[in-house]
Amino acid sequence: MKNQVQLITYVDRLGGGGLPLLRRMLSTHGEGPLAGLFGGVHLLPFFHPIDGADAGFDPIDHTRVDPRLGDWEDVRALAADVDVMADVIVNHISADSPQFQDYSAKGADSPYAGLFLTLDTVFPDGVTEQQLLQVYRPRPGLPLTTATLRNGEKRILWTTFTPKQLDIDVQHPQGEAYLDGILQRLADSGVRMIRLDAAGYAIKKAGASCFMMPETFEFIAQFSARARALGLEVLVEIHAYYQRQIEIARQVDWVYDFALPPLVLHAFAFGTAAPLLRWIGMRPTNALTVLDTHDGIGIIDIGADSADRAGSPGLVPPEELDALVDRIHDASGGQSRLATGAAASNLDLYQVNCSFFDAMGRDERRYLLARALQFFLPGVPQVYYVGLLAGLNDMALLARSGTGRDINRHHYTPAEIEAACQRPVVQQLLQLIRLRNDHPAFGGRFEAQPLGDTGLRLRWDAPGASATLELDFATLAHQLRFSRDGEADVTLQLG
């Protein structure tokens, strides 16, 4: 992966013109302010269909591009201009998939009978109440759905997320063949990197949490090896206690720094750099740094380990974590409260649904300083399309869909993109992205230091070049300076 800022976007929600339009927008030979801006693009699910039960994360056919967006030749053409990342949804498949429809009609006689996890697949000797309660849940209720197949047979299917998303037995030969077919299709189409979606839930084991177990790590390692053999780098998506991120980072190419968004919000909300600096001192550097994604703002990532009954503390005290959630709700004028927890369907208990710009109270200076901090940390920055345009909460979309995360999944028209790019906050963000991409200091040595109790200094040094960010979270006083031999220093004041 290039050490440059990456974009993460839905194909249909940034301009609405499908893959050909996205290529024209992002290519170095493209049109408009985003041309040549990013070192790579993560295309959120563009498979058939993009508008199922979970915005494409419940594919009917993971090896088919939704024809409303284009086809595999369009993916290949985009990948020739900018590095492309795609999702491999390893945990589940749509209940409308041809594989499940065949299984529903034929039962055990279907060639896909081994593809789907049932209750007795995981608990062949029966299950106790206590064993079911041991299973880690990101959402309320049990991960099970009772279904009557078309052949009349009743089965209890494993459904970690929604009843329309049927969990795959990734250890069965049918499960392996299904996932390997996806890898081959992506590699053949020029995709250079994959993100393993929901990989932490992929392995189920009787009497265990069924989340991030040793067997899960083993599966991720084996699957990643098969991907690398096809020339694909692997990003693993895990929302969990921060020590799990450190552990998994040792075994894979890339992880997300999901602790960063809530820690940045905490630093500004409480006027302190201490928890953030503590994390900077231990965080994995083979990370994609993010402030926002298509999901909500993670809270579990900096909280205590809920799986450790003895108590493993989080990066911030529990009372401050609770207060942080309330401050996000207040900063958004209560909008995030309407999209979070039991207030909306498709919920994740450990996330606050809100655009990052709204989570910061639409304060342009704070927002740009947060982006500068993101870009200065070791790793590769990734910017979500709504965040790129300093987007607001889409309350109309939330009202129409009733899905909490849709608050931060706006459909931008070309006219909206053009108007957003004229806003000073977006223009300064684009300038920061170009500096992060092009400045040689970011290939050098990094150090972080406290500045009193409320600030920090982040600095990069390379031969003949340096970049420094000094920031006081209490006063917002800051200095942002870039220097290199033979050129005048660049000093920025943000906001």
Terminal C-alpha separation, the chain: 31
What is d(CA 395, CA 380) in angstroms, rounded to the nearest whole number?
A: 31
Q: How far apart are CA 246 and CA 240, in angstroms?
A: 10
CB atoms under 10 Å from CB of 62, counted, come to: 21
Choice among 237, 257, 394, 472 that is catalytic? 237
Kind and range of the H or E element at 120? Answer: helix 119-122
CB distance 294 to 55 below 8 Å: yes
Q: How far is CA 254 from CA 175, 291, 409, in A?
A: 24, 16, 25
- Characterise 274 by phi-psi region: left (phi > 0), alpha (psi -120 to 50), beta (else): alpha
Q: Beta strand 47-48 with 40-43: parallel, antiparallel or unpaired?
A: unpaired
Task: Look up 237 and say whether it is catalytic.
Answer: yes
Residue 240: how many CA atoms within 13 Å on its side-chain side?
Answer: 23
The angle formed by the CA atoms of residues 284, 268 and 321, to the nearest 5 degrees, is 70
Does 197 participate in catalysis according to the annotation? yes
CA distance 298 to 259: 7
Is residue 187 packed enough to be buried (19+ CB in 10 Å), middle (13-18) or exposed (0-12)? middle
C-beta of residue 387 within 8 angstroms of C-beta of residue 333: no
Residues 6+ apart with CB under 8 A from 63: 47, 181, 182, 185
Distance of CA 12 to the CA centre of its chain: 18
What span, in angstroms and rounded, lies between the C-alpha atoms of 303 and 331?
21
Q: What residues contact 252, with CB distance under 8 A and at least 6 apart?
A: 220, 221, 224, 234, 235, 236, 286
- Among the listed residues 197, 295, 301, 358, the single catalytic one is 197
| Half-sphere CA count of 318, side-chain side, radius 13 A | 6
| Class of residue 331 by CB neighbours under 10 A (exposed 0-12, middle 13-18, buried 19+) | buried
Going by their DSSP bridges, the two strands 445-451 and 40-43 should be labelled as unpaired
The tokens for 344 are 């909306």
Active site residues: 197, 237
